Structure 1
Amino acid sequence: MPMLDHDRGQAYYRHWPSADPRAAVIFLHGFGEHTGLYHRYAFALNAAGIDLWAVDQFGHGLTGGERGDIVSIEASCDLADSITDLAARHRPDLPLFAQGHSFGSVVTLWRLLDASGRYRAGIVSGVPIAPMSELADTADSFDLDPTWLSADPFYLDSLQHDPLAFVGASGSALFSELGKAWSRFGSELASLAVPTLALHGEDDPVAPIEPVRAYAEQIEPLQLRVFPGGRHDILNETAHREVAAAVIEFVAAQTTG
């Protein structure tokens, strides 16, 4: 299996190559997920000439660790650095895009603040950009109702039957790191300089859209694209084709002219 080395152990990654790529996307999944849940998205990008690289975060998928224990934002940043290095070595001529979903999008914004020169642009989806007090109260036993995530029956079936996916685990590490990110974003996100596309379901019950909308109105490089009726896992919603098309359009806009 393809693995990245880290001082906390090895991390599994996937690479979906395009036959004739014009860009590469570095993707970080969210809590309870793993890279294998994104094959539809990967194939859509590949068809448009975009490579996708993705890594199973600590405590997820085929990467080791206690279930749901993402360790820290810094550990996730290390994984993103490693797979970015790999993608850059594989095709040094391709522009790189940093992307994340849910907790992965928090890490992506963190990285765009710290390493803006490394990426042509950023893409985030379902980003919990501000405190979620209702969910934080249940952090010790964090359980998500699958219907909060998507209305796509294919995806919901995957969540139910995929042994590598889960919707419940301790959220202590997750909410500790989210708190750290929320504090930083409140004081520093206004300095975001990298063009960044935020994809969000209008009916997301996990990470409400209002804080994202407020930030997008204040931060010029942050563009918000809203999908009516969409829930949290917008890349795996019933509108997943439209969401992938929005990403492809954004990548094209950032790589032409």
Structure 2
Amino acid sequence: MSSSFSWDEPEGLAARGTLIVLSGRGEHGGVYERFGRRVAFDAYRVRALGDPAADPSVLDEAAKLLADESLPGPKVVVGSDTGAHYAVQLAADADALILVGLPTSPWTSGSWEEEVEARTACPTHQGRLAADPAFRRGALAENPRLPAPRLDRVTVPVLALHGTDDAVSPLETAREAYAGSGVRLVTFHGGRHDVLNDALHRTAAATVVLFLERLRLSPELPVIAEGPA
């Protein structure tokens, strides 16, 4: 079984829900530490798993977490890169999905520099990937056979996050994949492939928390705050 990483709510606060993160190509759950810590600070528990495309046991592990009654709801599956395809497979047992950088076409690169630049514009995260022995360089060019994201069969709320400058999964093809499905797509100007670990990671985390807070009120996602009419 793949290793998992956990971040919990601060002591003294009641947990407000659980996020189960499925990583993408070459990644492991620890890659999402910054995101996990930030969301946990807002009292959401985070369990970050590996890449289901590389390790099928990840899906079994995610299913056990969804069935674990000791973890508070709502339970939301977050899939990044290829993990987004597998997240859709778990929709029937989840309260919502968050899909990040859904892959829509093959991507190839001739160098590590091109790969890391395509993944993120954040120098801190670029440095982390470069120094991480558990991260697999070159994996972004792998194109595993993925389950079709049958979003037309998903009945729970879905939030999609996508960078406007995503060279791995161009925004326009992502829009086509989401068209007609009822998915709420939020785009990040200048954002690259891994929106949760990109230069705008704070804004991405805030967008996730707002989605979670609305989900806690109702699956209909009532508006919490709006600007002047």
TM over 0.5: yes
Matches within 5 A, 1:72-91: 72=56, 75-85=57-67, 88-91=68-71
2:87 aligned partner: 108
Which ranges of 4 or more aligned residues in structure 1 deviate by more than 4 Å? 141-144
Paired residues in the alignment total: 214
Shift of 1:107: 0.5
**How far apart are the structure 2 equivalents of 1:251 and 1:71?**
28
Structure 1: 5+ residue runs without aligned partners? 1-9, 59-68
Whichever residue aligns with residue 82 of structure 1, its letter is K
Q: In 1, are the aligned partners of 2:32 and 2:48 still within 8 Å (CA)?
A: no
Residues 1:193 and 2:173 are matched in the alignment: no
How far has the Cα of 1:96 moved from its partner? 0.5
Q: From the superposition, tell whether residues 119 and 169 of structure 1 become closer, same or farther in structure 2 (CA, over 3 Å).
A: closer
TM-score normalised over the length of structure 2: 0.84
SS at match of 1:193: coil
- Residue of structure 1 equivalent to 2:137: 167
User: What SS does structure 2 have at the residue aligned with 1:194?
Assistant: coil
Aligned residues with identical type, % of pairs: 27
Deviations 1:144-179 (A, max 9, x none): 6211111111101111111111221596xx53422x
> C-alpha root-mean-square deviation of aligned residues, in Å?
2.3
Q: 2:191 aligns with which of 211, 230, 239?
A: 230
1:155 correspondence with 2:125: yes
Separation (CA, whole Å) in 1 of partners of 2:145 and 2:111 = 14
**What TM-score, normalized to structure 1?**
0.76
Question: For the Cα contact (< 8 Å) 2:26–2:140, is it kept in 1?
Answer: no
Describe the SS at the equivalent of 2:69.
helix
2:212 aligned with 1:251: yes
**4, 8, 13: which one pairs with 2:4?**
13
Aligned to 2:116: 146
Q: Describe the shift of the 1:170–1:42 C-alpha distance in structure 2 as closer, same or farther (beyond 3 A).
A: closer
- The Cα shift of 1:256 comes to 1.1
